[in-house]
Chains A and B, each alone.
Chain A
Amino acid sequence: MRKIELTNVNKVFGDKMATTTALEDINFSANSGEVIAITGPSGSGKSTFMKILGGILSATSGGINIDGSDYGNMNKKQQSKFRLEHIGFILQAYNLLPYLKVSDQFKLADKVKKSKNIGTETFSKWARALKIDDLMNNYPDELSGGQQQRVAILRALYTNPDIILADEPTAALDGNMAVKSMQMLQDLAHRENKTIIIITHDARLLKYVDKNYRIVDGKGQFIDVNNAELV
């Protein structure tokens, strides 16, 4: 089932005097249950693509359709509500709130989204899998980069979103934990029909994705998922 569809999306930064085209005629689609990697060199427009997909940035032109809704034309408030209900973000810089203990990072999610979050049992299972179950009383500044990243992964999953957008989700993880996290995300996508889109430079992760969408100089295309050299 088609979950996300971007049609002829363009993003141009700047004003009339000087403009930079970050994305050019992007056509992209993702189905429910798919894990898609977004690859490409630095500065190619991957993060801009992710921001537009998440409604954080507006496209200059083109259509963005998510789950049958014209997401690109929603106002900021509607997009914000849609994100809260349907999209989970795993950000590059973990971005945990420094004044909340790990357990409170999840309680905050309960405060802002009061229903349909994952249950206690699932939460405990995933926390154990990510090895953060005994870190619940720690503040972020008491955790290593890898531990913070794992907390950020679980926080993104906590609100039980249909779509997960991840920007280098395993960058701070050691090899084993990176693989384990990717397996968990892949399993989640396939088993619970979630759509997971991951920006990555890590070729090892490609075997856990279903498609690879490569962006170069603002232009994107789906390529062979096994072509790790292009990552």
Chain B
Amino acid sequence: MFLSLREIKKSKFRYSLICLVIVMIAYLIFILTALANGLSEANRQAIDSWNAEKIVLNSDANGSLDQSTITAQQAKKASADKRADITQMSANVQTLSEGNKVGSQVIGLNKKQFIYRDLKIVKGHNFTKDNEVVVDQSLLETDGYHLGEKVKFSRNGHVFKIVGTVKNNQLNVAPVIYATNDAVQTEKFGTDMNHTISAMIYRSDVKKAVDGTQIMNIEDFIQDIPGYSAQNSTFEFMIAFLLLITLVVISIFLYVLTMQKIPYFAVLKVQGVSNGYLAMNVISNALILSIVGVVISGLLTFLTAISMPAAVPMTFDITLMGLVAVMVIVMSIVGGLIPMRTVAKIDPAKAMGGS
């Protein structure tokens, strides 16, 4: 560390340029991580908020909530222990003047069951009537809706009043609107509704599936959300590739710097300085550069986070960012190990001229 700090102090410009490259790569990794995290959450926030263990869908639905219907008879035969019935409908919410259309996920709930009871209302109150809805706060923050506003889901649909909001409640990257099961069923199937629901959510283990239904773990169900796994894999690949680029860039820079320092390392070897001390010097360089780079890019990421509009699906999770920062630093240290062989092979005789 002694040599590294002084070397960096003496060659500020050279090391600043290297650090700048690390800052840019680390910043890109942080932003991509936040975007990956944000999009992932936007797909699953609502489901996570239910704190459920299992979901029962129609066996022909292939894991898709949108395709699933559970009849009243099937629901009656199924276990009622820690169960919440939901009716899902994808619809555009709009104002009464048919403006401000926003794609949304409408979820019908039973007022006697746990999802309804556990809704964390941040503004207003929970819905109590069939013509009331609770909406994800993003509809108010980014889409211009307001508490008390009357909305509808189709040209001829019923009118609903926004009575409350919940935070972080999106599904399939669309805001969730909670209403009563009856109201959603009426909207979805018309006035001759037959109490058909979309799925049964359980906070307990379900052993036996009723005929025509399938039981899924909630995590498996989330993985089957259309596009969810592919999107996550894409981001994971990009982040892994960027970490690999960090490793390569650091290795190349440190290798070139080490090559430039061979005459000085040779002198130190003549004086009896061990390979271990010189190796630590190279690793210290990598450590200092990566820590400074990560801290600066962390600050840039923080500035980005506070200036980013709410509509951009980015979630800055401190733990996840910390993990990414540690990985960048670890990659840098691994990069610092690459020139070790060169250090070990430096011939001290090079420091001594003559015949």
Please judge, given known A-B contacts A54-B270, A80-B269, A91-B267, whether A98 and B10 are in contact too, CB under 8 Å: yes
In the complex, which of the residues B268, B274, B349, B355 contacts A42, with contact meaning CB atoms closer than 8 Å?
Answer: B355
Could you tell me the distance between the alpha carbons of A220 and B351 in the complex, rounded to whole angstroms?
Answer: 24
Asked whether A112 lies within 8 Å of B349 as measured between CB atoms, the reply is no
Please judge, given known A-B contacts A56-B270, A83-B271, whether A108 and B3 are in contact too, CB under 8 Å: yes
Interface residues of B, count at CB 8 A:
25
Q: B311-355 toward A: CB 8 Å interface, digit per residue (1/0)?
A: 000000000000000000000000000000000000011011111
- The answer to whether B38 has its CB under 8 Å from any CB of chain A is no
Which of A44-52, A66-74, A129-137, A182-190 binds B? A44-52
Residues of A within 8 A of B (CB): 22, 42-48, 50-51, 54, 56-57, 77, 80-85, 87, 89, 91-93, 95, 97-101, 104, 107-109, 111-113, 139, 159, 167, 199
- The answer to whether B309 has its CB under 8 Å from any CB of chain A is no
Asked whether B355 lies within 8 Å of A104 as measured between CB atoms, the reply is no
In the complex, which of the residues B6, B11, B272, B352 contacts A47, with contact meaning CB atoms closer than 8 Å?
Answer: B352
Give the 6 A-B residue pairs with the shortest CB-CB distance, closest first.
A47-B354, A84-B272, A83-B272, A99-B10, A95-B267, A99-B7
Could you tell me the distance between the alpha carbons of A80 and B2 in the complex, rounded to whole angstroms?
Answer: 21
Q: Is the interface of B mostly helix, strand, loop or mixed?
A: helix
Could you tell me the distance between the alpha carbons of A113 and B13 in the complex, rounded to whole angstroms?
Answer: 31
Could you tell me the distance between the alpha carbons of A76 and B253 in the complex, rounded to whole angstroms?
Answer: 29
- The answer to whether B308 has its CB under 8 Å from any CB of chain A is no
Residues in B with CB closer than 8 Å to A159 are 271
Closest Cβ neighbor of A80 among chain B residues: B272
Could you tell me the distance between the alpha carbons of A99 and B9 in the complex, rounded to whole angstroms?
Answer: 8
Could you tell me the distance between the alpha carbons of A80 and B268 in the complex, rounded to whole angstroms?
Answer: 10
In the complex, which of the residues A107, A112, A139 contacts B272, with contact meaning CB atoms closer than 8 Å?
Answer: A112
Asked whether A92 lies within 8 Å of B355 as measured between CB atoms, the reply is no
- The answer to whether B140 has its CB under 8 Å from any CB of chain A is no
Asked whether B6 lies within 8 Å of A100 as measured between CB atoms, the reply is yes
Closest Cβ neighbor of B11 among chain A residues: A99
- The answer to whether B103 has its CB under 8 Å from any CB of chain A is no
